[in-house]
Chain A
């Protein structure tokens, strides 16, 4: 019981401070005399509560948007039916075949390389890298990914870290087919976890469990080690820490921004014309998500590699993170919201409430002393 409590308080410390992201205009103070009216007037707090009930930006970030139905008239409907038959009856089995073939080739090459080439570490890594890029291309082909890359292709060099907005695990696959990134990701159960453990560790990926605070310390250490290695694959981080529906960006975790190296923003925007690429991990498994993608006509998306950014003198990691988030949001046309994606997994911290109480109490006390 004691252990449980201590670990949960550790978690509290580890979580980002929402108040650090609050704008200052929510804090207003007027050093005039305190009247009964000022104490009785609770309208700002009530308005906030009602505003949250009517519409909270938090839930909106994680809502999957159902596609607009277009099969509504006499001649479009048969067309749509035909589409369904083609998509499920022809495209899907074809894609499964491609994927299976891809995996067979991959394992046929990977297993011998992984276990036999142990003496030639450099060669082994190079081949494994290429193989991972290959299997990712196969994945992209299996949903007929139409991906447009804008900007220079990332090169392998130390002292830089790539950060991207996160919509689904397929972000990773899309980026990985161009460059074998080493990624920091949540541990997954099932076959995804198996792939994470056996294959992706070869390209330097780091896995952790977001609810384990110990894991996160280890990750922070590994991160630092990784960016200094000249031979390592470029590092990719999804600083939102969770999948968002590609309409919003939630707060960036500051970890990637305090490493003291170049931060290269990557903006990813999906076109919802055929399928919504948002993976709502609470509602569907990754397998179902893939099935969903593989039975659609195509996955259309744009990827922008933006200009590398450095922390400015006097800038805090949080301000830096926000600046990079601005860049990504503008490029991909996403709205910024002041929420921590981890709230999906934890109850909100009472810190924010306390902060509000403190501001109010201080203003009352100060105005009481004025007279």
Chain B
């Protein structure tokens, strides 16, 4: 009776732990592995976009399409690494970096006005007009001392978001 978790050896787990900077405990990784195998329906070693979308709670998320660009085709190690940012042991900087990456989805190292606008579009859908979105954004940018034309770097994100109160934690169920 081969149990899914019995297929992971100590070496495997240590390797994964190293890959995610020890943000998850051994038990959490075993639990995540079971979840990974459950999502990876035909055991091909990675999770496809369709399989992610088969989770209703994920499919309903306003960022589902955006996040798919980051998680589509992840193997187990990268799957854990992605989720490790949501561990309670991850630092505030790591969390902010992930937020930055969600904005900077094409990975050019900076967030432009257009990127900000796109995320706001995901969040508000048809309930705000394009002009309203632009107006809101340029207004708050100006207030914070930025202008429409300058792009935000990771340091700016850390400066703006780097205050206690940012809570981005997901608990891995361990049984």
| Chain A residues with a Cβ under 8 A of chain B | 34-43, 45-59, 63, 69, 339, 343, 347-348, 350, 352-354, 356-358, 360-362, 364-365, 368
Structural contact, B35 and A352, CB atoms closer than 8 A: no
Interface residues of B in 155-175 (CB under 8 A from A): 157, 160-161, 163, 166-173
Structural contact, A357 and B124, CB atoms closer than 8 A: yes
A366 to B160: give the CA distance in the assembly, Å: 22
B70 to chain A, nearest CB (A): 10
User: Contacts A35-B143, A36-B143, A42-B119 hold; do A348 and B59 have CB atoms under 8 A apart?
Assistant: yes
Our pick among A36, A343, A353, A358 for the contact of B141 (Cβ within 8 Å) is: A36
Other A-B pairs, 11, CB within 8 Å; known A36-B143, A39-B116, A52-B61: A35-B140, A35-B144, A39-B120, A46-B63, A49-B64, A54-B83, A55-B172, A56-B58, A356-B62, A361-B125, A368-B136
Our pick among B56, B58, B64, B132 for the contact of A365 (Cβ within 8 Å) is: B132
Structural contact, B62 and A368, CB atoms closer than 8 A: no
Structural contact, A47 and B169, CB atoms closer than 8 A: yes
Our pick among A43, A347, A356 for the contact of B99 (Cβ within 8 Å) is: A43
Q: Please, what's the 1-or-0 string for B44-84, where 1 marks a CB less than 8 Å from any CB in chain A?
A: 00000000100111111111100100010000000000010
Structural contact, B67 and A49, CB atoms closer than 8 A: yes
Contacts of A56 in B (CB 8 A): 55-58
A53 to B128: give the CA distance in the assembly, Å: 29
Structural contact, B64 and A37, CB atoms closer than 8 A: no
Structural contact, A53 and B58, CB atoms closer than 8 A: yes
In the complex, residue of chain B having the shortest beta-carbon distance to the beta carbon of A18: B60
Say yes or no for B27: interface residue by CB 8 A criterion.
Answer: no
Structural contact, A52 and B58, CB atoms closer than 8 A: yes
Our pick among A52, A55, A354, A365 for the contact of B128 (Cβ within 8 Å) is: A365
The 17 listed contacts between A and B (C-beta, < 8 Å) are: A34-B140, A36-B141, A37-B144, A37-B163, A42-B63, A42-B102, A43-B95, A43-B168, A45-B62, A48-B61, A52-B58, A55-B173, A57-B57, A354-B126, A357-B125, A357-B126, A358-B127
Residues of chain B at interface, number, CB under 8 A: 56
A360 to B168: give the CA distance in the assembly, Å: 18
Structural contact, B32 and A54, CB atoms closer than 8 A: yes
A52 to B86: give the CA distance in the assembly, Å: 12
Our pick among A45, A339, A352 for the contact of B123 (Cβ within 8 Å) is: A45
Contacts of B8 in A (CB 8 A): none
Contacts of A54 in B (CB 8 A): 32, 35, 83, 86, 170-173
A285 to B127: give the CA distance in the assembly, Å: 45
Say yes or no for B25: interface residue by CB 8 A criterion.
Answer: no
Structural contact, A50 and B170, CB atoms closer than 8 A: yes
User: Contacts A54-B83, A365-B132 hold; do A36 and B160 have CB atoms under 8 A apart?
Assistant: yes
A58 to B38: give the CA distance in the assembly, Å: 13
Contacts of B55 in A (CB 8 A): 52-53, 56, 58-59
Structural contact, A360 and B136, CB atoms closer than 8 A: no
Say yes or no for B26: interface residue by CB 8 A criterion.
Answer: no
User: Contacts A37-B160, A43-B95, A357-B125 hold; do A49 and B63 have CB atoms under 8 A apart?
Assistant: yes
A361 to B86: give the CA distance in the assembly, Å: 26
Our pick among B52, B60, B170 for the contact of A352 (Cβ within 8 Å) is: B60
Say yes or no for B137: interface residue by CB 8 A criterion.
Answer: yes
Q: Please, what's the 1-or-0 string for B91-133, where 1 marks a CB less than 8 Å from any CB in chain A?
A: 0000100110011000000000000100110011111100010
Say yes or no for B1: interface residue by CB 8 A criterion.
Answer: yes
A53 to B51: give the CA distance in the assembly, Å: 10
User: Contacts A47-B168, A58-B55 hold; do A53 and B132 have CB atoms under 8 A apart?
Assistant: no
Contacts of A347 in B (CB 8 A): 59
A53 to B137: give the CA distance in the assembly, Å: 30
User: Contacts A49-B58, A49-B61 hold; do A37 and B172 have CB atoms under 8 A apart?
Assistant: no
